[in-house]
Amino acid sequence: MKTPLLTWLLRLVVMCVVGFLLLPAVVVFIAGFNDRAILSFPPQSFSLRWFERALTYPDFRHGLRNALIVMVWTSTISIVVGAAFAYALNRYEFRLKHTLEAILMSPLMIPHFTIGLGLLMLGTQMGFARTFGIVVFSHIVIVLPFVIRSVYISMQNLDPRLEKAATSLGAPPWRVLVTIVLPLLAPGLFSGWLFAAILSFNEFTGSLFVTSQATQTLPVAMYNYVREYADPTLAALSTIYIVITATLLTIANLYLGLGKVLNVEQSR
């Protein structure tokens, strides 16, 4: 049987879209192996020296360390705060619930540079402009809506009757939380944490305003680098970036695939 024309067209469109999505990454990936000290495409000769430079350049090492510090604090604090808000939004009815929901989601509508600028001015006024605190704070503001969404969705799959059953069996609220709610939300919490971590690790626009020389994160260090040099180090670094993130996501997806099975079981 011949495949209809329409199906072929559809496949073509899908392949084009996938191609466009991957194109920048592919160009950068290849450019990173160029031996010459210019960012150009396609490369004329092959070398791994820019990878070496990317991994040894002091600003990048420093930036990576800062980015990881900020990432861990941001994702951990925002998962705790986000989970608490998501739980409240999901389980309780209260006045101004919709207002709170709107406020929590509002960072989605505010440009990151506005958040960065606002916090910079506030930080300068109050004397904490050059600290990690302000960087972490700005990242939390930016990632919180995503975290709340992520936890909220997995919470909707959590049957309130499980908590009631545990309560009737004699579990006080904190033991219900520890023995029932947290284990069952673990996949959702973990994916929310990971989401927050990736967003924070990649965040640039807001960070540009609130970081100082001492607290600059890797994306900011990269931006500063590209203003001075035009060699393929950044391309090499981008490749490292992509490989690490992709690996993390793959592992997470394996874990979340399992999580989905658990959720189906619960809602049955």
Q: Is the bond preceding residue 145 a cis peptide, omega within 30 degrees?
A: no
112 touches 203 (CB < 8 A): yes
Q: Does 265 bind another protein (CB under 8 A)?
A: yes
Which C-beta is closer to another protein: that of 114 or that of 167? 167
> What is each CA distance from 214 to 46, 59, 66, 68, 96, in whole angstroms?
35, 10, 9, 14, 41
Give the count of beta carbons closer than 10 Å to the beta carbon of residue 204.
Answer: 16
Region from 1-9, 218-226, 249-257, 259-267 binding another protein, contact rule CB under 8 A? 259-267
The 10 Å Cβ neighbour count of residue 12 is 10
Binding mask 60-99 for another protein (x = CB under 8 A): ----------------------------------------
180 binds another protein (CB under 8 A): yes
What does the alpha-carbon distance between residue 239 and residue 65 come to, in Å, rounded to a whole number?
A: 18
Q: Tell me: does residue 167 bind another protein (CB under 8 A).
A: yes
Which of these segments, 25-33, 59-67, 172-180, 214-222, binds another protein (CB under 8 A)?
172-180
153 binds another protein (CB under 8 A): no
What are 268's two structure tokens? 């049955």
Q: Which of 14, 102, 159, 244 binds another protein (CB under 8 A)?
A: 159
CB of 85 to another protein, least distance (A): 23
Q: State the DSSP code for 107.
A: G
Q: Which residue ranges make up the site for another protein (CB under 8 A)?
A: 159, 161-162, 164-173, 175, 179-180, 183-184, 262, 265-266, 268
